[in-house]
A and B are shown apart, each in its own frame.
Chain A
């Protein structure tokens, strides 16, 4: 017995190393029908029930709001933060409830904060993009800005900041539009609590960084690149000449052509295509990218600009003005 007692810890240690959840060699025959039956019963009951986290008993909204600010390392005014998370639909729902119970409590929704945040974001993103893409035309910058301010992008950011459960809305799960609006309201709240420089950095760190690994040219569709390029070149007075510099499998379905654009007999860019016309168009696009300094191999966008960049809109090249 003494022997057993003495070596019990050792034995326990050896047992610990043995994996307990050894997976069987096969999936048993009963698994599939059981899962099907469970799914069927769930469907009969009206689909999967998702319980909002904020209806749980130990949910503490105040603590969550405080932690939200601390997680992001931002100083939010607590009242403003609560207001930013209150959607209009929630206020209406609450007012109806209060009418039934016959008492009146004033609640603020986030509409004003949304407006304020949106205005600030639009301005800041515009200025920032102008600073980091100095040669890109205004139309392109607006295209990128519209992409960054789109509902899908903002909703995605908002969701991953963890606003989904904190948002006070009538419906659960919350709509994408409400998620996006909440993010704008958060920026608005931060603007009032910590000032524009701090909120600018917030927008930079969470919204503008969405451009990481993206091709900025995708957000601006150029209808006729060749005309745009010739217009640009006509001012400088240099001669632009497209040359067919490569073709492969001319009589086949997989024909591929390469057109090079020569500016004063020096190669500017080249483009590929299944026809000569497409290749020429692509070459013009490549040339425009080169002029706008947004080529495939461009230096990554600087996400570390501090403060609010100064406006350069007046000096900047505009396509529509020409």
Chain B
């Protein structure tokens, strides 16, 4: 193999590191996107026997958003294997216990159950907050676009800006605000 072909191969099979911000994202819809990068489905060289998956770093997993009343209604099932060992844990309980668990399970569930799945999962790194170890953030060279815009809440906007914002009308002086 000539030198040119060798580096061409090296560049083709280079493992890219992506970052994904989970803030206000639906974990189940995000999982479908993250899965593609983890397995390398976005590459033209993809083949199921081909080790071409990338690494995805998820940050802010504590601030994911579930749909409807999923926090209260979605249950995560576990069975210890012993009689009477079945447990159903609600999503909010799981999330309180481990803020990375829901996104991890979502990605795991998005992939087909085969021998490759557990190895592919090793390439998914999840952090509950924004702080990532320095050596990991240095590897990252691409950002996966978020599926939804993160809404800005009124209490996050500074009081000055709120005051400056043009108003349609002013309340009368004697109007009692509850």
Residues of A within 8 A of B (CB): 215, 217-218, 246-252, 254, 256, 258, 271-274, 278-279, 282, 285-286, 296
Contact = CB atoms under 8 A, between A and B. Distances in A.
B50 to A, nearest CB: 15
Q: Which of B7, B15, B16, B136 has the most chain A CB atoms inside 10 A of its CB?
A: B7
B160 interface: no
B7 A250 contact: no
The 9 closest A-B pairs by CB, nearest first: A256-B14, A272-B11, A272-B7, A248-B14, A254-B15, A251-B135, A218-B2, A249-B139, A282-B7
A248 B15 CA distance: 7
Contacts of B135: 251
Interface size class of B (residues with CB under 8 A): 10 to 19
Q: What's the dominant secondary structure at chain A's contact region?
A: mixed
Interface of B: 2-4, 7-8, 10-11, 13-17, 55, 135-136, 138-139, 141
A256 B4 contact: no
Given A282-B3, A282-B4, A285-B4, A273 B139 contact: no
Given A246-B141, A248-B14, A272-B8, 10 more contacts: A248-B17, A248-B139, A249-B55, A251-B135, A254-B15, A272-B7, A272-B14, A274-B10, A278-B7, A296-B4
Q: Which of A247, A248, A254, A274 has the most chain B CB atoms inside 10 A of its CB?
A: A248
Nearest to B55: A249
B10 A272 contact: yes
A32 to B, nearest CB: 32
B43 to A, nearest CB: 13
Contacts, number: 54
A256 B10 contact: yes
Contact of B4 (A215, A249, A252, A254): A215
B11 A249 contact: no
Contacts of B4: 215, 217, 282, 285-286, 296
Contact of B139 (A246, A251, A271): A251
9 contacts: A248-B15, A250-B138, A251-B136, A256-B11, A272-B8, A274-B7, A279-B7, A282-B4, A285-B3
Nearest to A271: B7
A94 B65 CA distance: 95
B126 to A, nearest CB: 18
A214 to B, nearest CB: 10
Nearest to A270: B11
Given A215-B2, A218-B2, A285-B3, A251 B10 contact: no
Nearest to A246: B141
Contacts of A271: 7
Contact of A248 (B3, B7, B16, B136): B16
A273 B8 CA distance: 8
A112 B161 CA distance: 98
B139 to A, nearest CB: 5
Contacts of B141: 246-249
Nearest to B16: A248
